[in-house]
Structure 1
Amino acid sequence: QECRWGTRTGVEVICSQSGDISVVELISSEAGWHIQRILGEILTNVEKHARATKVFLDLSVDSTSLTLEARDNGVGLPSEGSRTPADGHYGVSGMFERASILNAKLTMDGYSTDSGVHTILTVPFESLDLSEGAA
């Protein structure tokens, strides 16, 4: 899916993975859907707002969680004081709502001067309903 998105948008997608990613096949359909929607919103924001030429996606699995990390080389987030990433952006708000449903931690950083937005989603295994995905 990410490769098709990159071809359509002209943004180079660079993917990496670490850990036992076979666990991805065991994720419940509901948890997987939320993770896919969060990734979709990240890519939509890169396409619509970032003016990026590259996006780096990393999927990692450790003994307790699955982490999806995305970083682009675009313009970053607007610096408007204490504005939170979700203020006035329904797609970003939806990302945080989905993360909450998954009992996951979602962080977005794009206010630094080195450009781009860095998003990290960390989902604990117990929120992935791994046994359901295997059925």
Structure 2
Amino acid sequence: MSSPATLSVHRHDTANRALVTLTGEIDLNSAPLVYASLERCLRDGIHAIDVDVTAVSFCDCSGLNAFLYALSRTTAAGGSLQLHHPSPALERLIALTGSGSLFLALPDAFAGSRPSPWLSPMDQAAYRLPPALSALPGGVL
């Protein structure tokens, strides 16, 4: 019997911005940790939240729901929440649920490495912006 994959959360703050890096699997058991971590940013007065999902190996609809709820709360507080470097599977989940327009500024569109499947070519061009945070020493974004 294999052990369940764990989710780890790392947060790095700069001024009024936070980078939350998630590693592991996001499912029914770990989605509350995702939401609580993002909600904590708001409680700490941070309203610009970047979520690096590069190392997320699995995300189901409960994980997407945590992102959407956190996005709703962040937007209501006058802030922004962006997902960075989603896997093709997470991009597909976002596209299938029609929630792509809520996460317009994904880094793949920033980098131009592959087009976001839910944006028209005109919209993709409009969202080609530099990444919000650059890498810090030690490989942390």
Work out whether the TM-score is over 0.5: no
TM superposition score normalised by structure 1: 0.28
Larger relative contact order (C-alpha < 8 A, sep ≥ 6)?
1
TM superposition score normalised by structure 2: 0.27
